[in-house]
Amino acid sequence: MGILDIVQVVVFLAAVIIGTPLLGSFMAKVFEGQRVWLSPVLRPVENGIYRLTAVDATKEMSWRTYLIALVAFKVLSAVVVFIILLVQNSLPLNPAGVSNVPVALAFNTAVSFMTNTNWQNYAGETTMSYFSQMVALAVQNFTSAAVGIAAVIALTRGLARKSATTVGNFWVDLVRGTLYILLPIAIIFTVILVWQGVPQTLSPYATATTLSGSTQVIPLGPMASQEAIKMIGTNGGGFLNANSAHPFENPTPLTNFLEVFSILWIAAALTYTYGTMVGSRRQGWTIFTAMFALLIVGLALSLVSEFSPNPALGLPGGSLLEGKELRFGITNSILWSTSTTDASNGSVNAMHDSLTPIAGLVAMINIQLGEVIFGGVGSGLYGMLIFAILTVFIAGLMVGRTPEYLGKKIEALEVKMAIIAVLLPSASILLFSALATVITAGITSLNNGGPHGFSEILYAFSSASQNNGSAFAGLNGNTDFFNITLGIAMLIGRLGVIVPVMVIAGSMIGKKATPPSAGTFPTDRPLFVVLLVSIVVIVGALTFFPALSLGPLVEHFLMAAGRTF
């Protein structure tokens, strides 16, 4: 690892820190209904949407009404995508003449994009029409991300407001998140990507003759627009099968840097938004610091592993290029693999199946910890706030006091909901992985045997249950068994956390805040950061260490002894 590699990592981390308050303060103003620099242009559009949809923007909702609206919107979204995929051959904008998507794959894809997972059991260039890519998948990239943001804003109001009864208006939060945040950034990013060479066209696929005289079909399409929102919305679903490892989706060092930065930008900035809305930016920076610390540790472990000599392959450190992005080097491949699994993005610019066992373990445990290291837009922050509630509860037990967070007492209901939000995705990961390893339909999809094959299965259900979407590419997931089970796991991972989060928001919003006293445990100090990180790691270790021991850990030691799988 050379000095240039170190500089790239430092610049990237600095960009995340600097970009957090810049965007975070803007988002706080948007969701508090304040005037922003885009208001003269977008406020009339926003009001027009409310008139068209008969939404009363001045009327707020209880947490139950907010949750019902959220779930109903997502269910309807999945149904629309499902139908489009089933009949896409009869719809316009299908220059490649791709056929209708099979039922099981259509179910998996509809659920995947609705839940912001973007798991792909298909090759986009041979399976999806332009119409499906734009109207079904790209639209969900916007709305699924906006729903995640709306959920964490509702939770933030629940923590910030005192003795209130409403958590906001879901439709207003959905519109503002899309119109003021996701759409403007996506438009600017799309223009930059087109400038750098990413295709954005409705022309049919191109046909070329190779030097050997063979015919080659070159896929085209509206890639830049989908690439932009797939990154900033932490969606991750690629227009092409190779995702951002393909030069059409990621052609230059500039696009590579911007794409990996955009994976974390909104998710990181939301911590500042949170601090602003609860009236204490120190609270936001505390959450940011915990996330950032976990990011650095995982990145460092992965880089050390990838730049260490490999006895099994007889290669010196820094030579493990198989499956990596040769145009940008090992460091950028690892920076991407760490960021995409930290942020519930799921896009790749290198194959995770080719990572060293330790780097693969880091990517896997980043997901298994609950996607709370920045995580998906919105979902990462509310996931970390769940752990913050558990942390103050445990701290309260240790000192014999009723736990409080932001001056509000944490009682049995909040702790129960937090436990449910942590356990449901974890149970989904372990139970579905166990099932897949003991039935023929599961093990026949493996490309590798031994611990690496087990890692492929464990990674798949970790990615689905925690709504990440990346994969150990050696697993063939396009079977009825995996399409259905992974789809169910995605639903558990999304709704199994959002529902408890909204219950907590409704419970906390009705409570009075008590002023801090000498016995109050401060939640905006370094000690709380240490405790919060410790709880996240301990919960993850206790839950997944046995499974990880059977996969990447044992593979690491066997590879050190010269064995591969």
72 in a structural domain:
yes
Q: Alpha-carbon dihedral of residues 328, 330, 332, 333, nearest 10 degrees? A: 100
Q: Report which secondary-structure segment, H or E, holds 397.
A: helix 379-399
Question: Among residues 37, 73, 411, 377, which one has the least CA distance to residue 233?
Answer: 377
- List pLDDT tens digits, range 213-257: 899 999 999 999 999 999 999 999 999 999 999 999 999 999 999
pLDDT tens figures, 109-163: 999 999 999 999 999 999 999 999 999 999 999 999 999 999 999 999 999 998 8
Residue 257's pLDDT is what? 95
Q: Is residue 550 part of a domain?
A: no
- List 168's β-bridge partners, or say none: 61
Q: Give yes or no for a contact between 386 and 421, defined as CB atoms under 8 angstroms apart.
A: yes
Query: Residue 34 domain-assigned?
Result: yes
CA distance 116 to 423: 20
Provide the pLDDT for residue 303. Answer: 93
Domain presence at residue 486: no
Q: Is residue 459's pLDDT more than 80?
A: yes
- 45-60 burial, b at 16+ Cβ within 10 Å, e below that, comes to ebeebbeeeebebeeb
Residue 429 is assigned to a structural domain of this protein:
no
- Can you tell me the distance from the alpha carbon of 468 to that of 370, in angstroms, rounded to the nearest whole number? 10
Query: Domain span at residue 82?
Result: 23-278
- What's the structural domain count of the chain? 1
Distance of CA 318 to the CA centre of its chain: 29
Is residue 333 classed as helix, strand or coil in its secondary structure?
helix
Burial class (CB in 10 A: 0-12, 13-18, 19+), 18: exposed
- Which tokens in the block code for residue 560? 């050190």
Structural domain includes residue 235: yes
Give 412-416 contacts, CB < 8 A, sequence gap 24+: 413/503, 413/504, 413/507, 414/389, 414/504, 414/507, 414/508, 415/389, 415/390
Between the alpha carbon of residue 338 and those of residues 294, 335, 348, 352, the distances in Å are 11, 5, 10, 10
Q: Is residue 271 within a helix (H) or strand (E), and if so which, with residue range?
A: helix 253-277
**pLDDT tens-digit series, residues 375-431:** 999 999 999 999 999 999 998 888 777 788 999 999 999 999 999 999 999 999 999
Report the pLDDT value the prediction gives residue 391, as an integer from 0 to 100. 94
- The three state secondary structure string of 377-388 is CCHHHHHHHHHH
At 322, the pLDDT band (50, 70, 90 cuts) reads confident
* Helix, strand, coil percentages in the chain from 3-state DSSP, rounded to 5: 65, 5, 30
Q: What angle do CA 147, 150, 152 make, to 5 degrees?
A: 115
499 alpha carbon, distance to own chain's centre: 18
Q: Provide the pLDDT for residue 335.
A: 95
Task: Evaluate whether residue 260 is within a structural domain.
Answer: yes
What's phi and psi for 62, nearest 5 deg? -70, 170
- Domain for residue 59, yes or no? yes
What Cα–Cα distance (Å) separates residue 11 from each residue in 15, 253, 260, 267, 420? 6, 14, 12, 18, 38
What would the pLDDT profile of 247-275 be if each residue is shown by its tens digit? 999 999 999 999 999 999 999 999 999 99
